[in-house]
Amino acid sequence: MIENILKFVGGSAVLFAVIAWFVKTLVTHFLSRDIEKLKSALALEVQKTNDKIQKETQINILEHQIRFNKLHERVADVIAEAYAKLYNISKNLNLLIRTDRAVDDPDRKISYKQLNESLNDLKEYYPPRRIYFSKSISIQMDLFIHELEKTIPKFLFMFNEEEYRKLGGAAYFLAEAQNAQKKVGELLINLEINFRETLGAS
């Protein structure tokens, strides 16, 4: 009887060990499958998140480039327009001071009016757009406008023969015009350099 009990307990223990091993193997197998599924799902989620972040970063970079390019384009347009306005001042100065004209030549008065208009055009255009220019060009432009505002009224004396002679005649007005032309020329050169730098050209 003890022998039977021992056989029964021993057999049960072996059976229990086999069942425990089988359950353990089964649980391990299912757990490892679940872990693999979890790893795959996690890897997929990480990849999706990385793709999303990368896409958003690329969109942000592209938006920044577009804004930067538009600003560059705007700066280039403003510089080009200011250049054209300065060029008109230079052209009108040359027409006003032409030495082949008589003092009372009606075309000289037209040139004076056009010079005044071209300065006023620059004065209207430049101040609200000052921010588009480099600091050195802004200072140079401010000084030029201020000096030309003082110089242009002097040219009115060209139309009064007595004042014209008192001031020294053509030589006086030519010197004033050449001084203004020199400053216009320097500004035009600096604007051209600034324009080319803005476009990335040399």
Q: Where do the domains of the chain lie?
A: 73-199
The rounded percent of the chain whose pLDDT value lies above 90 is 33
C-alpha to C-alpha distance for 44 and 128, rounded to whole angstroms:
54
The chain-wide mean pLDDT, for the chain, equals 84
CATH number, span 73-199 = 1.20.120.230
126's CB contacts (< 8 A; 6+ apart) are 82, 85, 141, 145
The pLDDT tens digits of the residues spanning 61-85 come to 888 888 878 888 898 899 999 999 9
This prediction has a pTM of 0.68
Query: Quick one: average pLDDT of 141-158?
Result: 91
The pLDDT tens digits of the residues spanning 24-33 come to 776 676 667 7
Give the residue carrying structure tokens 């001042």.
89
C-alpha to C-alpha distance for 4 and 76, rounded to whole angstroms:
105
